[in-house]
Structure 1
Amino acid sequence: MSRTEKEKMLAGDLYHAGCPELQADLAQTRAWLVRYNASLGLPASDRRRLLAERLAEVGPDAVIRPPFFCDYGYNVALGTGVFLNFNCVILDVVSVRIGDGTQIGPLVQILTADHPRDPEVRRSGLEFGRPISIGRNVWIGGGAIILPGVTVGDDAIIGAGSVVARDVPVGATVVGNPARAVAPRSA
């Protein structure tokens, strides 16, 4: 049985993003983002209701400060007390899970979307995604970039401006481009 492009996308397989079904989903998300990004002056409870309209899961006390940007929204799950500061970008062609109590600085990019390395396959317009999982009580500094397929362990710290291309172990502190482990600083 043939799968739709959306089914292929959600499975992390090669798919064509320009198919009508996915273009309709993107259009719905863009309309939702216009509403959400205009909500900064609204009470937190109203912004939370807006988040629940589009995201897969929104834990109690989860906050995203607008403006916020994503591809689909329905692949994003936020745990209890998650905080995303201004101008975060989540390219969520597959699952993005963010654990309880995680704090994410401004301008952070969480990117599940990936492209084939073979130039002929890439030229055909095919792409794929690899899920990202961010554990509990993680702190991600402003401007950091989390690349496709990365898992960040609980209690980890990612320094501002870091580019995270590999998994981050539980409790580790990583900085730089590419991000590498360093001894944690106190205070």
Structure 2
Amino acid sequence: MSQKSRMLAGKLYLPFDSELASDNKKARELTRQFNTTEDKGGEFRKSILKELFKKTGNNLYIEPPFRTDYGCHTSIGENFYANYDCIIIDVCPVNIGNNVFFGPRVCIYTATHPIDATVRNSLIEYGKPVTIGNDVWIGGNTVVNPGVTIGSNVVIGSGSVVVKSIPDNVIAAGNPAKVIREISDSDKVYWEEMAQNYREEQEP
């Protein structure tokens, strides 16, 4: 079993491997290109992201700068937006659904290390996948830790540290992040009224 196969399976692995080094080098080159593009290079930026990631929707936008270890282990759905300074450490698969928005400095970490210092100092490491559902908004300066699943229709408050999985249809926040309340039909009614008022105010 190759080191890359072990890594993606969540097994202990050594990162000093020619295949992993090649994948990492490609990611570094692509993110360097991406981060140095001018604002007018929207389609060029998108083409870089499509080459970088395993899978994307047609509509995605990431504000530079952006960092990732591999990129090729990350799958992203339609209508994705990430604000400045997003980091995705994808030593294990990262799966992001449709209509997901990241505030600035959102970090997705799949990499982790043994608790025992002797084993850790041997530089053996491992990872756990991260999954984010559809219709999710993650506030700025949030960290999503290895092994976490965030459900669909979820809002994560800014500055949160998500260490355990979050169910569908809730608002969660804090360090560690905890469910604050469910998202209800009253939220939908309120925000639909606010959106309708906005549309009416825009009419000539």
Task: Please list, as runs of the form range in 1=range in 2, the aligned pairs for 1:1-187 lying within 5 A after superposition.
Answer: 3-183=1-181
Query: What is the CA–CA distance in structure 2 between the aligned matches of 1:40 and 1:57, rounded to whole Å?
Result: 24
Q: Which has the larger radius of gyration?
A: 2
Deviation larger for 36-45 or 153-162: 36-45
**1:40 Cα deviation (Å)?**
4.2
Counterpart AA for 1:118: D
For each residue in 1:103-130, what CA deviation from the matched residue of structure 2 results, as whole angstroms up to 9, or x when unmatched? 1111000000011122222121111110
The residue identity in structure 1 corresponding to 2:72 is Y
Find the aligned partners of 2:181 and 2:129 in 1 and give their Cα distance: 28
Structure 1, gaps ≥5 residues long: none
Instruction: State how far apart, in whole Å, the 1-side matches of 2:25 and 2:43 are.
Output: 25
Alpha-carbon separation, structure 2, partners of 1:58 and 1:65: 16
- Cα displacement (A) at 1:48: 1.1
Structure with bigger helix share is 2
**May I ask how many residue pairs the two structures share in their alignment?**
185
Note if contact 1:40-1:66 (Cα within 8 Å) is conserved in structure 2: no
Q: Contact 1:40–1:65 (CA<8 Å) still a contact in 2?
A: no
SS of residue paired to 1:120: helix
CA deviation digits over 1:35-64, x for unaligned, max 9? Answer: 011124233222111111110011021111
Q: Displacement, 1:32?
A: 1.0
CA distance in 2, matches of 1:69, 1:58: 17
Counterpart of 1:150, as a letter, is: V
Q: Percent identity?
A: 38
Amino acid across the alignment from 1:132: V
SS at match of 1:143: coil
- Indicate the SS of the match to 2:126: strand
Deviation at 1:89, TM superposition (A): 0.3
Q: Normalising by the residue count of structure 2, what TM-score does the alignment of the two structures yield?
A: 0.86
Q: 2-side partners of 1:131 and 1:183: how far apart? A: 26
- Measured in 2, the distance between the counterparts of 1:50 and 1:102 equals 20
Larger deviation: 102-111 or 35-44? 35-44
Unaligned runs of 5+ in 2: 192-204
The two structures have a TM-score, normalised by structure 1, of 0.94
Q: Which residue of 1 aligns with 2:199?
A: none
Q: Which amino acid aligns with 1:91?
A: I
